[in-house]
Amino acid sequence: MPRPIRLLTYNVHSCFGTDRKLDPGRIAEVIGECKPDIIALQEVDVGRARSGGMDQAHMIAAHLRMEAHFHPALHLKEERYGDAVLTALPMRLVKAEALPSSGEPRGALWVEVDIGHVTLQVIVTHLGLGGSERIRQMTTLLGPGWLGGIRQSESRVVLAGDLNAIARSAAYRALAGHLKDAQLLSNAKPRPTFPSRLPLLRLDHVFVGDGIGVKACRVHDSAMARSASDHLPVLVELEIEPHRRSVEKDILPTYGSGAPPLP
């Protein structure tokens, strides 16, 4: 079995911390504490006046020596806001589209990441605040244009993000009928992610498809993480089975090769 892939999902709150400080560098440092191979970000600002016009997706990626794909769920003139995937591994954009929304615009981003022995399908999203809105959005993601069009027997699939959904919600249950909650597959007790200073709700999730095991999963709650955003990041170690005969290659630069096991 190839070594585990470390994937992190993180709602960065436009890089505004609970102390109201705008600091993309601090977000990058929190991510660096976790040493992930693949990062799914939500609430990322690009060119917005409120965050000084900075391109947060590429600033964080540059700090981590990674590349970024960004999709704006909200696009007003030059101001954009949405989701991103960061990695130092070979990555290709598959799809980036809006989701049906009745409030703040929402979207989803789908990339393929080449991890050497397999191509991993990674979907990142940030669902809405209303229950009926989340159901419409999840129905779209489970439909033929997204997860419903992927043959899990031939692919390895991960969906990550801020679903604004706890385990008893309808949107969560709909997704759990197709993919598996990574926190529930680990030996650790599931832990809440929001709000970061005193977490009460488990809103941030990683779901995995067939052929993916979870070696470890934890909510990262360092002192810096509790102040950098209003959400805590979720870090998972994924054991990904090859879906076809291939020659295993070691192409994991940056953090992967020397990352210690999760506690």
Closest CA to 71 of 58, 80, 61: 80
| Cα(219)–Cα(193) distance, integer angstroms | 7
Q: Is 216 left (phi over 0), alpha (psi -120 to 50) or beta?
A: beta
- Alpha-carbon distance of 157 to 192, in angstroms, equals 23
The amino acid occupying position 17 is G
Report the percentage of the chain scoring pLDDT > 70: 92
The domain spans of the chain are 5-240
Percent of the chain whose predicted confidence (pLDDT) is above 90: 83
Q: Is the pLDDT of residue 200 over 70?
A: yes
Mean pLDDT of 142-162: 94
212-219 and 234-240 beta bridge pairing: antiparallel
Section 145-149 average pLDDT: 95
The dihedral built from the CA positions of residue 230, 182, 65 and 258, taken in this order, carries a sign that is positive
pLDDT band (50, 70, 90) for residue 247:
very low
Q: In the predicted model, what is the mean pLDDT of residues 81-97?
A: 97
pLDDT-derived band of residue 251, with 50, 70 and 90 as boundaries?
A: very low
Q: Which residues contact 47 (CB under 8 A, 6 or more apart)?
A: 53, 54, 55, 78, 79, 80
Confidence of residue 262 (pLDDT cuts 50, 70, 90): low
173 has a pLDDT exceeding 70: yes
Looking at the predicted structure, is the pLDDT value of residue 44 above 60? yes
200 CB-contact burial (10 Å; exposed 0-12 / middle 13-18 / buried 19+): exposed
- How would you list the strands of the sheet with 67-76, edge to edge? 67-76, 79-87, 38-46, 5-11, 234-240, 212-219
Mean pLDDT, the chain, as a whole number?
92
> Considering only 15-19, 43-47, 150-154, which range has the smallest mean pLDDT?
150-154
Q: Which one has a higher pLDDT value, 103 or 46?
A: 46
Put residue 178 in one of left, alpha, beta given phi > 0 → left and psi -120 to 50 → alpha. alpha
Q: Is the full-model pTM beyond 0.75?
A: yes
Using the predicted structure, report yes or no on whether residue 258 has a pLDDT greater than 80. no
What is the dotted CATH code of the domain comprising 5-240? 3.60.10.10
